Amino acid sequence: MTAEVSYQDYLRVDELLALQRPFTAHGDGGGVGETGHTALSEHFFIICHQTCELWLKQILADLSAVVGAFSTMRPADLERAVDLLYRVGGLLRLLHEQLVVLEQLDVEDFAQFRQFLGSASGAQSAQFHELERMLGNASRSGTLYTAFERGVERTGGTVAKIVEAGAEAGTEHRLVEGLLHVGNGFLRWKVGHVGLTSRMLGGSPGTGGSSGVAYLVDRASLPFGELRRLRGRTHERVAASGVTAEGDIPSTD
Residues that bind ligand HEM (CB under 6 A): 48-49, 52, 102, 105, 110, 121-123, 125, 128, 193, 196-197, 200-201, 206-210, 212, 215-216, 219
Q: How far is the CB of 142 from ligand HEM (least distance, A)?
A: 14
Task: Give the amino acid at 65.
Answer: A
Q: Of the two residues 84 and 99, which places its CB atom closer to ligand HEM in the complex?
A: 99
Q: Of the two residues 216 and 230, which places its CB atom closer to ligand HEM in the complex?
A: 216
- In sequence order, the β-bridge partners of residue 136 are 141
Q: Of the two residues 86 and 215, which places its CB atom closer to ligand HEM in the complex?
A: 215
- In sequence order, the β-bridge partners of residue 37 are none
Q: How far is the CB of 176 from ligand HEM (least distance, A)?
A: 25
Q: How far is the CB of 117 from ligand HEM (least distance, A)?
A: 9
Q: How far is the CB of 14 from ligand HEM (least distance, A)?
A: 24
Alpha helices in the chain (DSSP H): 7-10, 13-17, 23-26, 36-72, 75-102, 107-113, 126-135, 143-154, 159-165, 171-201, 213-219, 225-241, 245-248
Q: Of the two residues 38 and 207, which places its CB atom closer to ligand HEM in the complex?
A: 207
Q: How far is the CB of 187 from ligand HEM (least distance, A)?
A: 11
Phi-psi region of 73 (alpha: psi -120 to 50; beta: other; left: phi over 0): left
- In sequence order, the β-bridge partners of residue 141 are 136
First to last CA, the chain: 72
Q: Of the two residues 201 and 230, which places its CB atom closer to ligand HEM in the complex?
A: 201
Q: How far is the CB of 95 from ligand HEM (least distance, A)?
A: 7
Q: What is the CA radius of gyration of the chain?
A: 23
CA distances from 242 to 58, 85, 161, 235, 236 (A): 46, 35, 20, 11, 10
Q: Of the two residues 151 and 185, which places its CB atom closer to ligand HEM in the complex?
A: 185
27: helix, strand or coil: coil
In three-state form (DSSP H/G/I as H, E/B as E, the rest C), the secondary structure along 71-102 is HHCCHHHHHHHHHHHHHHHHHHHHHHHHHHHH
Q: How far is the CB of 137 from ligand HEM (least distance, A)?
A: 10
Q: Of the two residues 76 and 101, which places its CB atom closer to ligand HEM in the complex?
A: 101
